[in-house]
Amino acid sequence: MEKKRSVGVIIGVILLGLVLLLIGITGSRISYSFFLLISRNPPSSILRTDIIGNAIILPILSIFLIVCGIGLLALKNWARKLSLLILLILLVDVSIMPLLNAISVGCSSDKLGMLLRGIISTFFYYLFLYILIAFFLTRPKVKEQFR
């Protein structure tokens, strides 16, 4: 027996899948650019947290985002669950990496205060987006489409 598909839910899932796919592809491009930068400049001139963030975490997150985007487009339940986890990791990454960068450089307290305000506002912006996406993906009608 064929499942009844809700047009609004399907459109939302398709849009979210495409957005995750686009973010993953963009992250991959940024990672590739960073690898080119590292190959042209000695690693000692680049901050350690940048190397960790852009050379290790970003490519891994990008791969998972691409996989989640494809899985959401195919209405796979594992992709719905994995998307929530990966987006939460991305939220933490976006919030913590700039702070680690500032600390490793040795920012003055004035600059650190400004940076902290920016990090806090960025965190709440991404938290708001995460809550909206989590709310959408955990609705009974949406979960039903993934079974």
Q: What is the pLDDT of residues 13-39, one digit of tens each?
A: 888 888 888 888 887 777 777 777 666
Give the residue among 114, 64, 55, 115 at the shortest CA–CA distance from 89: 64
**Token pair 């290790």 in the structure block, residue:** 56
**What is the per-residue pLDDT for 78?**
93
Q: What is the dihedral of CA 76, 78, 79, 81, to 10 degrees?
A: 130
Classify burial at 55, counting beta carbons within 10 Å of its beta carbon; exposed 0-12, middle 13-18, buried 19 or more.
Answer: middle
Tell me what percent of the residues of the chain surpass a pLDDT of 90.
5
Token couple for 31 = 């990672």
pLDDT at 45 over 60: no
Q: How many CB atoms lie within 10 A of CB 133?
A: 17
pLDDT higher than 90, residue 102: no
